[in-house]
Structure 1
Amino acid sequence: MSAASVSVCIPAYQAGRYVAGTVRSVLSQTFEDFEVVVLDNASSDATPEIVRGFADPRVRVLRNDRVLPLAENWNRAVAESRGRYVKLLCADDLLHPDCLRRQYEVLATDPGIALVCARRDMIDETGAVLAANRGLRGLVGRHEPDAVIRKVVRHGGNPLGEPGGALFRREQFDAVGGWDPGWKFPMDLALWIRLLGHGAFYGQPESLAAFRIAPGTLSAQAGRAEYAEQRALSEDLASDPVWGVRPVDRLVGSAMAPWARLRRVALFLMARSQGARN
Protein backbone atom coordinates (compact mmCIF):
# COMPACT_ATOMS: atom_id res chain seq x y z
CA MET A 1 0.00 0.00 0.00
CA SER A 2 1.48 3.34 -1.05
CA ALA A 3 1.94 6.17 1.42
CA ALA A 4 -0.74 8.85 1.62
CA SER A 5 0.06 12.28 0.18
CA VAL A 6 -0.86 14.16 3.36
CA SER A 7 -0.24 13.23 6.98
CA VAL A 8 -2.30 14.84 9.72
CA CYS A 9 -0.39 14.40 12.98
CA ILE A 10 -2.39 14.73 16.20
CA PRO A 11 -0.36 14.81 19.44
CA ALA A 12 -2.77 14.06 22.25
CA TYR A 13 -2.27 14.49 25.98
CA GLN A 14 -5.19 14.28 28.42
CA ALA A 15 -7.36 15.07 25.40
CA GLY A 16 -10.36 12.90 26.20
CA ARG A 17 -12.82 15.77 26.10
CA TYR A 18 -12.06 16.91 22.55
CA VAL A 19 -9.94 14.40 20.62
CA ALA A 20 -12.84 12.42 19.14
CA GLY A 21 -14.21 15.56 17.50
CA THR A 22 -10.76 16.47 16.26
CA VAL A 23 -10.23 13.09 14.60
CA ARG A 24 -13.74 13.14 13.13
CA SER A 25 -13.08 16.56 11.59
CA VAL A 26 -10.11 15.04 9.71
CA LEU A 27 -12.00 11.94 8.61
CA SER A 28 -14.74 14.20 7.21
CA GLN A 29 -12.41 15.84 4.66
CA THR A 30 -13.43 16.14 1.01
CA PHE A 31 -9.81 15.22 0.17
CA GLU A 32 -9.21 11.47 0.53
CA ASP A 33 -5.47 10.83 0.14
CA PHE A 34 -4.40 11.29 3.75
CA GLU A 35 -3.44 9.42 6.90
CA VAL A 36 -4.02 10.37 10.53
CA VAL A 37 -1.23 9.76 13.05
CA VAL A 38 -2.47 10.07 16.63
CA LEU A 39 0.32 10.10 19.20
CA ASP A 40 -0.97 9.60 22.73
CA ASN A 41 1.57 11.23 25.05
CA ALA A 42 1.12 8.73 27.91
CA SER A 43 -2.29 10.15 28.83
CA SER A 44 -3.94 8.91 32.02
CA ASP A 45 -7.49 9.93 31.08
CA ALA A 46 -9.79 8.35 28.48
CA THR A 47 -7.66 9.45 25.53
CA PRO A 48 -6.19 5.97 24.76
CA GLU A 49 -9.60 4.26 24.67
CA ILE A 50 -11.18 7.02 22.59
CA VAL A 51 -8.52 7.14 19.88
CA ARG A 52 -8.29 3.36 19.63
CA GLY A 53 -12.03 3.29 19.06
CA PHE A 54 -11.63 4.58 15.49
CA ALA A 55 -11.78 1.64 13.09
CA ASP A 56 -10.91 3.71 10.01
CA PRO A 57 -7.77 2.24 8.33
CA ARG A 58 -6.43 5.74 7.73
CA VAL A 59 -5.96 6.23 11.49
CA ARG A 60 -2.76 5.00 13.16
CA VAL A 61 -2.57 5.27 16.95
CA LEU A 62 0.77 5.31 18.79
CA ARG A 63 1.55 5.82 22.46
CA ASN A 64 4.58 7.11 24.32
CA ASP A 65 5.85 5.10 27.28
CA ARG A 66 6.32 8.33 29.23
CA VAL A 67 5.19 11.92 28.89
CA LEU A 68 7.50 13.70 26.44
CA PRO A 69 8.19 17.46 26.44
CA LEU A 70 6.13 19.39 23.91
CA ALA A 71 8.69 19.79 21.12
CA GLU A 72 9.95 16.22 21.44
CA ASN A 73 6.40 14.89 21.33
CA TRP A 74 5.44 16.96 18.28
CA ASN A 75 8.64 15.95 16.50
CA ARG A 76 7.94 12.29 17.17
CA ALA A 77 4.41 12.67 15.78
CA VAL A 78 5.82 14.04 12.51
CA ALA A 79 8.64 11.48 12.44
CA GLU A 80 6.03 8.70 12.48
CA SER A 81 4.22 10.17 9.48
CA ARG A 82 4.62 8.92 5.91
CA GLY A 83 3.12 11.67 3.79
CA ARG A 84 4.91 14.15 1.57
CA TYR A 85 2.92 16.99 3.11
CA VAL A 86 2.28 17.37 6.84
CA LYS A 87 -0.18 19.14 9.11
CA LEU A 88 0.10 19.07 12.89
CA LEU A 89 -3.32 19.42 14.48
CA CYS A 90 -3.64 19.92 18.22
CA ALA A 91 -6.05 17.45 19.83
CA ASP A 92 -8.66 20.09 20.68
CA ASP A 93 -8.72 21.92 17.33
CA LEU A 94 -10.77 21.20 14.20
CA LEU A 95 -10.43 21.20 10.42
CA HIS A 96 -13.13 22.44 8.08
CA PRO A 97 -14.11 19.83 5.45
CA ASP A 98 -12.22 21.42 2.53
CA CYS A 99 -9.02 22.19 4.45
CA LEU A 100 -6.76 19.41 3.17
CA ARG A 101 -7.99 19.64 -0.42
CA ARG A 102 -7.52 23.39 -0.64
CA GLN A 103 -4.08 23.36 1.00
CA TYR A 104 -2.82 20.31 -0.89
CA GLU A 105 -3.68 22.02 -4.18
CA VAL A 106 -1.41 24.95 -3.29
CA LEU A 107 1.68 22.93 -2.40
CA ALA A 108 1.22 20.28 -5.09
CA THR A 109 0.94 22.82 -7.91
CA ASP A 110 3.69 25.27 -6.85
CA PRO A 111 7.01 23.73 -5.72
CA GLY A 112 8.29 27.20 -4.82
CA ILE A 113 5.90 27.47 -1.87
CA ALA A 114 7.18 26.14 1.45
CA LEU A 115 4.23 26.99 3.69
CA VAL A 116 0.51 27.49 3.19
CA CYS A 117 -1.68 28.86 5.99
CA ALA A 118 -5.38 29.57 6.13
CA ARG A 119 -7.44 31.89 8.22
CA ARG A 120 -9.19 30.21 11.14
CA ASP A 121 -12.14 30.54 13.48
CA MET A 122 -11.67 30.91 17.22
CA ILE A 123 -14.04 28.61 19.10
CA ASP A 124 -14.85 28.05 22.77
CA GLU A 125 -15.13 24.85 24.82
CA THR A 126 -18.48 23.98 23.25
CA GLY A 127 -17.41 24.70 19.68
CA ALA A 128 -19.25 28.01 19.47
CA VAL A 129 -17.46 30.57 17.29
CA LEU A 130 -16.00 33.46 19.29
CA ALA A 131 -14.34 35.15 16.31
CA ALA A 132 -14.57 34.08 12.67
CA ASN A 133 -12.05 34.26 9.83
CA ARG A 134 -9.10 35.49 11.88
CA GLY A 135 -5.48 36.04 10.88
CA LEU A 136 -3.34 36.68 7.79
CA ARG A 137 -4.09 40.39 7.54
CA GLY A 138 -2.09 41.61 4.55
CA LEU A 139 -0.78 38.10 3.92
CA VAL A 140 -3.42 36.58 1.63
CA GLY A 141 -2.01 35.16 -1.60
CA ARG A 142 1.59 34.41 -2.52
CA HIS A 143 4.34 36.34 -0.71
CA GLU A 144 8.11 36.12 -0.77
CA PRO A 145 9.76 35.18 2.54
CA ASP A 146 11.36 38.55 3.34
CA ALA A 147 8.01 40.34 2.95
CA VAL A 148 6.37 37.84 5.32
CA ILE A 149 9.10 38.23 7.92
CA ARG A 150 8.69 42.01 7.90
CA LYS A 151 4.94 41.50 8.45
CA VAL A 152 5.69 39.20 11.37
CA VAL A 153 7.97 41.77 12.99
CA ARG A 154 5.45 44.58 12.44
CA HIS A 155 2.54 42.52 13.79
CA GLY A 156 4.07 41.97 17.22
CA GLY A 157 2.48 38.52 17.53
CA ASN A 158 1.85 35.55 15.25
CA PRO A 159 -0.02 36.70 12.14
CA LEU A 160 0.43 33.31 10.41
CA GLY A 161 -1.52 31.30 12.97
CA GLU A 162 -1.38 28.00 14.79
CA PRO A 163 -0.32 24.60 13.37
CA GLY A 164 -3.85 23.45 12.52
CA GLY A 165 -4.13 26.14 9.87
CA ALA A 166 -0.80 25.28 8.20
CA LEU A 167 0.46 22.66 5.75
CA PHE A 168 4.14 22.16 4.91
CA ARG A 169 6.50 19.77 3.15
CA ARG A 170 7.94 16.92 5.20
CA GLU A 171 11.28 17.16 3.42
CA GLN A 172 11.69 20.81 4.41
CA PHE A 173 10.52 20.15 7.97
CA ASP A 174 13.31 17.60 8.32
CA ALA A 175 15.81 19.95 6.72
CA VAL A 176 15.21 22.70 9.30
CA GLY A 177 15.27 20.31 12.25
CA GLY A 178 11.58 20.30 13.14
CA TRP A 179 10.07 21.96 16.19
CA ASP A 180 12.68 23.80 18.24
CA PRO A 181 12.54 23.03 22.00
CA GLY A 182 14.28 26.35 22.65
CA TRP A 183 10.87 28.02 22.22
CA LYS A 184 7.66 27.29 24.09
CA PHE A 185 4.78 29.61 23.20
CA PRO A 186 6.02 30.78 19.75
CA MET A 187 7.29 27.32 18.77
CA ASP A 188 4.94 27.20 15.81
CA LEU A 189 5.94 30.64 14.52
CA ALA A 190 9.64 29.78 14.92
CA LEU A 191 9.11 26.78 12.63
CA TRP A 192 7.19 28.81 10.05
CA ILE A 193 10.10 31.26 9.91
CA ARG A 194 12.67 28.52 9.32
CA LEU A 195 10.51 26.92 6.64
CA LEU A 196 10.41 30.26 4.82
CA GLY A 197 14.14 29.84 4.30
CA HIS A 198 13.12 27.17 1.75
CA GLY A 199 10.43 28.96 -0.21
CA ALA A 200 7.52 31.34 -0.45
CA PHE A 201 4.39 31.68 1.65
CA TYR A 202 0.77 31.37 0.55
CA GLY A 203 -2.11 32.71 2.63
CA GLN A 204 -5.66 31.50 2.02
CA PRO A 205 -8.51 33.97 2.56
CA GLU A 206 -11.09 31.44 3.74
CA SER A 207 -11.32 29.99 7.22
CA LEU A 208 -10.26 26.34 6.99
CA ALA A 209 -9.56 25.44 10.62
CA ALA A 210 -10.83 26.18 14.11
CA PHE A 211 -8.60 26.98 17.07
CA ARG A 212 -10.11 26.17 20.44
CA ILE A 213 -9.73 28.62 23.31
CA ALA A 214 -10.29 26.74 26.53
CA PRO A 215 -8.93 26.64 30.09
CA GLY A 216 -6.06 24.23 30.64
CA THR A 217 -4.55 24.52 27.16
CA LEU A 218 -1.00 25.74 26.59
CA SER A 219 -2.35 28.92 25.03
CA ALA A 220 -4.50 29.57 28.08
CA GLN A 221 -1.35 29.51 30.22
CA ALA A 222 0.36 32.15 28.10
CA GLY A 223 0.93 35.54 29.61
CA ARG A 224 4.03 37.53 30.29
CA ALA A 225 6.22 34.56 29.37
CA GLU A 226 4.58 34.37 25.94
CA TYR A 227 5.01 38.11 25.46
CA ALA A 228 8.72 37.97 26.39
CA GLU A 229 9.37 35.03 24.05
CA GLN A 230 7.51 36.71 21.20
CA ARG A 231 9.54 39.88 21.62
CA ALA A 232 12.78 37.87 21.72
CA LEU A 233 11.84 36.10 18.50
CA SER A 234 10.97 39.38 16.80
CA GLU A 235 14.28 40.88 17.87
CA ASP A 236 16.13 37.87 16.47
CA LEU A 237 14.40 38.39 13.13
CA ALA A 238 15.01 42.13 13.11
CA SER A 239 18.70 41.60 13.81
CA ASP A 240 19.20 39.03 11.04
CA PRO A 241 20.38 40.83 7.89
CA VAL A 242 19.09 38.07 5.63
CA TRP A 243 15.49 39.25 6.08
CA GLY A 244 16.04 42.94 5.39
CA VAL A 245 13.92 44.12 8.32
CA ARG A 246 13.88 47.91 8.41
CA PRO A 247 14.09 50.13 11.51
CA VAL A 248 10.50 51.25 10.93
CA ASP A 249 9.36 47.60 10.99
CA ARG A 250 10.98 47.13 14.38
CA LEU A 251 9.39 50.33 15.73
CA VAL A 252 5.93 49.37 14.51
CA GLY A 253 6.34 45.89 16.01
CA SER A 254 7.33 47.31 19.40
CA ALA A 255 4.21 49.48 19.37
CA MET A 256 1.88 46.71 18.18
CA ALA A 257 3.11 43.88 20.44
CA PRO A 258 1.08 44.98 23.52
CA TRP A 259 -2.06 45.23 21.37
CA ALA A 260 -1.50 41.76 19.93
CA ARG A 261 -1.26 40.42 23.47
CA LEU A 262 -4.37 42.29 24.60
CA ARG A 263 -6.40 40.95 21.66
CA ARG A 264 -5.46 37.41 22.63
CA VAL A 265 -6.23 38.00 26.31
CA ALA A 266 -9.63 39.41 25.32
CA LEU A 267 -10.48 36.22 23.41
CA PHE A 268 -9.60 34.05 26.41
CA LEU A 269 -11.71 36.24 28.69
CA MET A 270 -14.60 35.96 26.24
CA ALA A 271 -14.22 32.16 26.18
CA ARG A 272 -14.17 32.02 29.98
CA SER A 273 -17.32 34.13 30.13
CA GLN A 274 -19.06 31.88 27.60
CA GLY A 275 -18.06 28.81 29.59
CA ALA A 276 -19.47 30.27 32.80
CA ARG A 277 -22.85 30.80 31.10
CA ASN A 278 -23.05 27.29 29.61
Structure 2
Amino acid sequence: MTEQSRVPRVSVVIPAYNNARDIDAAINSVLAQDYEDFELVVADHASVDGTGALLERYRDVPKVRVLPPTPAGGGALANWNRVSEHARGELLKLVCGDDLIAPDALRRQVGAFDAHPDVVLVAARRNLIDANGKQLMAARGLGGLSGCVDGRVAAKASILAGTNIFGEPGCVMLRRELLVAEGGWDSRFPYLIDQATYSRVMVHGNVVALPEVLASFRISAGQWSVRLTKQQSQQATAFHEDFAASHPGLLSAAELRRGNRRARWMAHVRRFAYMWLRRRM
Protein backbone atom coordinates (compact mmCIF):
# COMPACT_ATOMS: atom_id res chain seq x y z
CA MET A 1 0.00 0.00 0.00
CA THR A 2 1.43 3.37 -1.00
CA GLU A 3 1.44 6.49 1.21
CA GLN A 4 -1.05 8.12 -1.15
CA SER A 5 -3.52 5.19 -1.06
CA ARG A 6 -3.49 4.57 2.71
CA VAL A 7 -6.37 6.22 4.59
CA PRO A 8 -4.93 8.40 7.38
CA ARG A 9 -6.47 9.15 10.77
CA VAL A 10 -6.17 12.92 10.28
CA SER A 11 -6.54 15.15 7.25
CA VAL A 12 -4.96 18.60 7.40
CA VAL A 13 -6.26 20.79 4.59
CA ILE A 14 -4.90 24.11 3.37
CA PRO A 15 -7.04 26.31 1.09
CA ALA A 16 -4.34 28.60 -0.30
CA TYR A 17 -5.05 32.03 -1.75
CA ASN A 18 -2.37 34.65 -2.46
CA ASN A 19 -0.15 33.17 0.24
CA ALA A 20 3.15 33.14 -1.67
CA ARG A 21 5.02 34.83 1.18
CA ASP A 22 3.82 32.43 3.89
CA ILE A 23 2.70 29.17 2.27
CA ASP A 24 6.05 27.41 2.76
CA ALA A 25 5.97 28.18 6.48
CA ALA A 26 2.38 26.97 6.77
CA ILE A 27 3.07 23.69 4.94
CA ASN A 28 6.31 23.06 6.80
CA SER A 29 4.59 23.58 10.16
CA VAL A 30 2.29 20.70 9.19
CA LEU A 31 5.06 18.46 7.88
CA ALA A 32 7.05 19.03 11.10
CA GLN A 33 4.43 17.29 13.27
CA ASP A 34 5.53 14.72 15.85
CA TYR A 35 2.41 12.70 14.90
CA GLU A 36 2.66 10.55 11.79
CA ASP A 37 -0.82 9.37 10.81
CA PHE A 38 -1.96 12.30 8.69
CA GLU A 39 -2.25 13.58 5.15
CA LEU A 40 -1.98 17.15 3.89
CA VAL A 41 -4.37 18.28 1.14
CA VAL A 42 -3.74 21.67 -0.42
CA ALA A 43 -5.25 23.60 -3.33
CA ASP A 44 -4.64 27.08 -4.73
CA HIS A 45 -7.65 29.27 -5.50
CA ALA A 46 -6.83 31.45 -8.50
CA SER A 47 -3.95 33.25 -6.76
CA VAL A 48 -2.16 35.99 -8.68
CA ASP A 49 1.04 36.08 -6.60
CA GLY A 50 2.63 32.79 -7.65
CA THR A 51 1.19 30.65 -4.85
CA GLY A 52 0.16 27.93 -7.31
CA ALA A 53 3.69 27.58 -8.67
CA LEU A 54 5.10 27.27 -5.17
CA LEU A 55 2.69 24.46 -4.37
CA GLU A 56 3.99 22.43 -7.32
CA ARG A 57 7.22 21.90 -5.40
CA TYR A 58 5.30 19.74 -2.91
CA ARG A 59 3.57 17.51 -5.44
CA ASP A 60 5.92 14.57 -4.81
CA VAL A 61 6.41 15.12 -1.08
CA PRO A 62 5.16 12.17 1.04
CA LYS A 63 1.86 12.83 2.83
CA VAL A 64 1.05 15.79 0.56
CA ARG A 65 -1.66 15.88 -2.10
CA VAL A 66 -1.66 19.00 -4.26
CA LEU A 67 -5.01 19.33 -6.00
CA PRO A 68 -5.48 21.03 -9.37
CA PRO A 69 -6.27 24.73 -8.84
CA THR A 70 -9.75 25.56 -7.63
CA PRO A 71 -11.61 27.59 -10.30
CA ALA A 72 -11.95 31.31 -9.62
CA GLY A 73 -15.07 32.52 -7.85
CA GLY A 74 -17.08 31.35 -4.89
CA GLY A 75 -15.08 33.18 -2.25
CA ALA A 76 -13.32 31.40 0.59
CA LEU A 77 -16.13 28.86 0.79
CA ALA A 78 -15.27 27.33 -2.58
CA ASN A 79 -11.72 26.37 -1.64
CA TRP A 80 -12.46 25.57 2.02
CA ASN A 81 -15.10 23.07 0.90
CA ARG A 82 -13.00 21.73 -1.95
CA VAL A 83 -9.99 20.76 0.15
CA SER A 84 -12.28 19.43 2.87
CA GLU A 85 -14.22 17.28 0.39
CA HIS A 86 -10.95 15.69 -0.75
CA ALA A 87 -9.96 14.83 2.82
CA ARG A 88 -10.11 11.14 3.77
CA GLY A 89 -9.29 11.16 7.46
CA GLU A 90 -11.67 10.58 10.34
CA LEU A 91 -10.51 13.90 11.84
CA LEU A 92 -10.03 17.17 9.97
CA LYS A 93 -8.04 20.33 10.60
CA LEU A 94 -8.13 23.30 8.23
CA VAL A 95 -5.09 25.58 8.29
CA CYS A 96 -5.18 28.85 6.38
CA GLY A 97 -2.26 29.42 4.03
CA ASP A 98 -0.59 32.07 6.17
CA ASP A 99 -1.02 30.48 9.60
CA LEU A 100 1.06 27.96 11.56
CA ILE A 101 0.47 24.99 13.84
CA ALA A 102 2.74 23.82 16.65
CA PRO A 103 4.76 20.61 16.15
CA ASP A 104 2.64 18.77 18.73
CA ALA A 105 -0.75 20.10 17.56
CA LEU A 106 -1.99 16.93 15.88
CA ARG A 107 -0.73 14.60 18.60
CA ARG A 108 -2.36 16.57 21.41
CA GLN A 109 -5.68 17.04 19.64
CA VAL A 110 -5.91 13.42 18.49
CA GLY A 111 -5.08 12.43 22.07
CA ALA A 112 -8.09 14.40 23.29
CA PHE A 113 -10.35 12.53 20.86
CA ASP A 114 -8.91 9.22 22.03
CA ALA A 115 -9.44 10.12 25.68
CA HIS A 116 -13.05 11.22 25.08
CA PRO A 117 -14.81 9.06 22.44
CA ASP A 118 -17.94 11.24 22.51
CA VAL A 119 -16.03 14.41 21.58
CA VAL A 120 -16.83 16.03 18.23
CA LEU A 121 -14.40 18.97 18.29
CA VAL A 122 -11.15 19.86 20.04
CA ALA A 123 -9.93 23.45 20.28
CA ALA A 124 -6.69 24.95 21.60
CA ARG A 125 -5.35 28.41 22.25
CA ARG A 126 -3.22 30.38 19.80
CA ASN A 127 -0.69 33.17 19.55
CA LEU A 128 -1.29 36.21 17.36
CA ILE A 129 1.70 37.07 15.18
CA ASP A 130 2.44 39.86 12.72
CA ALA A 131 3.35 39.54 9.05
CA ASN A 132 6.97 38.80 9.98
CA GLY A 133 6.10 36.14 12.54
CA LYS A 134 6.72 38.33 15.60
CA GLN A 135 4.41 37.53 18.50
CA LEU A 136 1.88 40.25 19.26
CA MET A 137 -0.36 38.48 21.78
CA ALA A 138 0.11 35.14 23.51
CA ALA A 139 -2.23 32.30 24.48
CA ARG A 140 -5.50 33.75 23.22
CA GLY A 141 -8.84 32.00 23.06
CA LEU A 142 -11.33 29.60 24.66
CA GLY A 143 -13.02 32.25 26.80
CA GLY A 144 -12.33 30.43 30.05
CA LEU A 145 -13.50 27.01 28.85
CA SER A 146 -11.33 24.10 29.96
CA GLY A 147 -11.45 20.34 29.59
CA CYS A 148 -14.43 18.39 28.30
CA VAL A 149 -17.55 20.55 27.91
CA ASP A 150 -21.02 19.89 26.54
CA GLY A 151 -21.01 21.15 22.94
CA ARG A 152 -24.23 23.12 23.35
CA VAL A 153 -22.76 24.85 26.39
CA ALA A 154 -19.61 25.66 24.42
CA ALA A 155 -21.54 27.08 21.46
CA LYS A 156 -23.63 29.18 23.85
CA ALA A 157 -20.50 30.47 25.62
CA SER A 158 -19.12 31.78 22.34
CA ILE A 159 -22.36 33.60 21.55
CA LEU A 160 -22.50 35.14 25.02
CA ALA A 161 -18.88 36.30 24.58
CA GLY A 162 -19.84 38.02 21.33
CA THR A 163 -16.83 36.55 19.57
CA ASN A 164 -15.36 33.31 18.26
CA ILE A 165 -13.67 32.05 21.42
CA PHE A 166 -12.43 28.93 19.58
CA GLY A 167 -10.23 30.87 17.20
CA GLU A 168 -9.34 30.31 13.60
CA PRO A 169 -9.54 26.85 11.97
CA GLY A 170 -5.89 26.11 12.72
CA CYS A 171 -6.84 25.99 16.41
CA VAL A 172 -9.54 23.38 15.86
CA MET A 173 -9.83 19.72 14.93
CA LEU A 174 -13.25 18.20 14.26
CA ARG A 175 -14.89 15.00 13.11
CA ARG A 176 -15.03 15.12 9.34
CA GLU A 177 -18.24 13.09 9.07
CA LEU A 178 -20.10 15.77 11.03
CA LEU A 179 -18.77 18.53 8.78
CA VAL A 180 -20.09 16.53 5.84
CA ALA A 181 -23.42 15.88 7.56
CA GLU A 182 -23.82 19.62 8.18
CA GLY A 183 -23.26 20.43 4.52
CA GLY A 184 -19.68 21.66 4.75
CA TRP A 185 -18.44 25.05 5.87
CA ASP A 186 -21.24 27.48 6.68
CA SER A 187 -20.76 30.80 4.85
CA ARG A 188 -24.22 32.28 5.31
CA PHE A 189 -22.43 34.73 7.61
CA PRO A 190 -19.09 35.08 5.78
CA TYR A 191 -17.13 36.76 8.57
CA LEU A 192 -18.20 33.98 10.93
CA ILE A 193 -17.65 31.00 8.62
CA ASP A 194 -15.53 29.26 11.26
CA GLN A 195 -17.67 29.95 14.34
CA ALA A 196 -20.93 29.17 12.53
CA THR A 197 -19.53 25.84 11.33
CA TYR A 198 -18.05 24.92 14.70
CA SER A 199 -21.38 25.63 16.38
CA ARG A 200 -23.28 23.33 14.03
CA VAL A 201 -20.78 20.55 14.72
CA MET A 202 -20.61 21.14 18.49
CA VAL A 203 -24.28 20.49 19.13
CA HIS A 204 -23.67 16.83 18.16
CA GLY A 205 -21.59 16.06 21.25
CA ASN A 206 -18.92 17.23 23.66
CA VAL A 207 -16.01 19.57 23.05
CA VAL A 208 -12.51 19.54 24.57
CA ALA A 209 -10.80 22.88 25.28
CA LEU A 210 -7.04 22.41 25.55
CA PRO A 211 -5.06 25.08 27.43
CA GLU A 212 -1.95 24.59 25.28
CA VAL A 213 -1.03 27.03 22.51
CA LEU A 214 -1.11 24.90 19.36
CA ALA A 215 -1.43 27.46 16.56
CA SER A 216 -0.33 30.91 15.44
CA PHE A 217 -2.67 33.27 13.60
CA ARG A 218 -1.03 35.86 11.36
CA ILE A 219 -2.64 39.29 11.27
CA SER A 220 -1.82 42.45 9.32
CA ALA A 221 -2.58 46.10 9.88
CA GLY A 222 -4.81 46.30 6.81
CA GLN A 223 -7.36 43.71 7.89
CA TRP A 224 -9.84 46.02 9.61
CA SER A 225 -11.95 49.07 8.70
CA VAL A 226 -15.01 51.01 9.85
CA ARG A 227 -17.05 49.24 7.16
CA LEU A 228 -15.86 45.84 8.34
CA THR A 229 -16.74 46.70 11.95
CA LYS A 230 -20.35 47.30 10.95
CA GLN A 231 -20.58 44.30 8.65
CA GLN A 232 -19.12 41.87 11.14
CA SER A 233 -21.30 43.02 14.02
CA GLN A 234 -24.38 42.76 11.80
CA GLN A 235 -23.43 39.26 10.69
CA ALA A 236 -22.68 38.21 14.27
CA THR A 237 -26.11 39.27 15.50
CA ALA A 238 -27.74 37.58 12.49
CA PHE A 239 -25.86 34.37 13.29
CA HIS A 240 -26.89 34.58 16.95
CA GLU A 241 -30.53 35.00 16.01
CA ASP A 242 -30.39 32.13 13.53
CA PHE A 243 -28.64 29.75 15.93
CA ALA A 244 -31.04 30.56 18.77
CA ALA A 245 -34.03 29.94 16.50
CA SER A 246 -32.55 26.62 15.37
CA HIS A 247 -31.98 25.46 18.96
CA PRO A 248 -35.00 26.53 21.01
CA GLY A 249 -34.39 26.84 24.72
CA LEU A 250 -30.62 27.14 24.46
CA LEU A 251 -30.58 30.93 24.80
CA SER A 252 -33.07 33.11 26.62
CA ALA A 253 -34.14 36.41 25.08
CA ALA A 254 -32.01 38.24 27.64
CA GLU A 255 -28.96 36.09 26.85
CA LEU A 256 -29.44 36.69 23.15
CA ARG A 257 -29.54 40.45 23.69
CA ARG A 258 -26.42 40.19 25.82
CA GLY A 259 -24.56 38.26 23.14
CA ASN A 260 -25.60 40.77 20.48
CA ARG A 261 -24.39 43.70 22.60
CA ARG A 262 -21.10 41.92 23.17
CA ALA A 263 -20.71 41.23 19.44
CA ARG A 264 -21.13 44.92 18.63
CA TRP A 265 -18.66 45.85 21.36
CA MET A 266 -16.09 43.24 20.29
CA ALA A 267 -16.21 44.47 16.69
CA HIS A 268 -15.18 47.92 17.92
CA VAL A 269 -12.51 46.44 20.19
CA ARG A 270 -10.99 44.64 17.21
CA ARG A 271 -11.07 47.81 15.15
CA PHE A 272 -9.13 49.74 17.80
CA ALA A 273 -6.70 46.83 18.17
CA TYR A 274 -5.95 46.94 14.46
CA MET A 275 -5.53 50.71 14.58
CA TRP A 276 -2.93 50.16 17.31
CA LEU A 277 -1.27 47.50 15.20
CA ARG A 278 -1.13 49.80 12.18
CA ARG A 279 0.68 52.46 14.22
CA ARG A 280 3.03 49.87 15.67
CA MET A 281 3.96 48.52 12.24
TM-score relative to the length of structure 2: 0.91
Q: 1:267 to 1:127 in 2, by over 3 A?
A: farther
Paired amino acid for 2:244? A
- Counterpart position of 2:57: 53
CA RMSD of aligned residues (A): 2.1
- Counterpart position of 1:73: 79
* Shift of residue 227, structure 1, vs aligned partner: 1.2
Q: Distance in 2 between matches of 1:103 and 1:191?
A: 18
Q: Distance in 2 between matches of 1:230 and 1:187?
A: 10
Instruction: Check if 1:147 corresponds to 2:153.
Output: yes
TM alignment of 1:21-60, pairs within 5 A: 21-54=25-58, 55-60=60-65
Cα deviation 1:69-100 (Å, max 9, x = unaligned): 22122111111111111001100111011111
TM alignment of 1:167-206, pairs within 5 A: 167-206=173-212
- Counterpart position of 1:259: 265
259-268 vs 38-47, which moves further: 259-268
Q: Distance in 1 between matches of 2:140 and 2:169?
A: 14
Instruction: Check if 1:19 corresponds to 2:17.
Output: no
Q: Distance in 1 between matches of 2:27 and 2:279?
A: 27
Structure 1: gaps of 5 or more residues: none
Q: Look up the SS of the partner of 2:190 in the other structure.
A: coil
* Shift of residue 217, structure 1, vs aligned partner: 5.8
Q: Distance in 1 between matches of 2:14 and 2:275?
A: 27
Q: 1:132 to 1:214 in 2, by over 3 A?
A: same
Q: Distance in 2 between matches of 1:220 and 1:24?
A: 35
Identity across matched positions, percent: 37
Cα deviation 1:194-233 (Å, max 9, x = unaligned): 1012211111111110111125669998421111101111
- Counterpart position of 2:14: 10
Q: Distance in 2 between matches of 1:114 and 1:174?
A: 13
Q: Distance in 1 between matches of 2:70 and 2:27?
A: 22
170-179 vs 55-64, which moves further: 55-64
* Shift of residue 4, structure 1, vs aligned partner: 1.5
1:62 paired residue among 47, 62, 67: 67
Q: Do 1:130 and 1:267's aligned partners in 2 also have CA atoms closer than 8 Å? A: no
Instruction: Check if 1:85 corresponds to 2:87.
Output: no
Q: Do 1:94 and 1:209's aligned partners in 2 also have CA atoms closer than 8 Å? A: yes
129-138 vs 250-259, which moves further: 250-259
Q: Distance in 2 between matches of 1:220 and 1:77?
A: 32
Q: Do 1:120 and 1:207's aligned partners in 2 also have CA atoms closer than 8 Å? A: yes
Q: 1:221 to 1:105 in 2, by over 3 A?
A: farther
- Counterpart position of 2:124: 118
156-165 vs 239-248, which moves further: 239-248
1:249 paired residue among 246, 255, 263: 255
Structure 2: gaps of 5 or more residues: none
206-215 vs 238-247, which moves further: 238-247
* Shift of residue 263, structure 1, vs aligned partner: 3.0
TM-score relative to the length of structure 1: 0.91
- Counterpart position of 1:227: 233
Q: Distance in 1 between matches of 2:170 and 2:225?
A: 14
Q: Do 1:117 and 1:203's aligned partners in 2 also have CA atoms closer than 8 Å? A: yes
Paired amino acid for 1:52? E
Paired amino acid for 1:93? D
* Shift of residue 159, structure 1, vs aligned partner: 1.3
Q: 1:45 to 1:216 in 2, by over 3 A?
A: farther
Paired amino acid for 2:53? E
Q: Look up the SS of the partner of 1:264 in the other structure.
A: helix
Q: Look up the SS of the partner of 1:223 in the other structure.
A: helix
Q: Distance in 2 between matches of 1:169 and 1:23?
A: 22
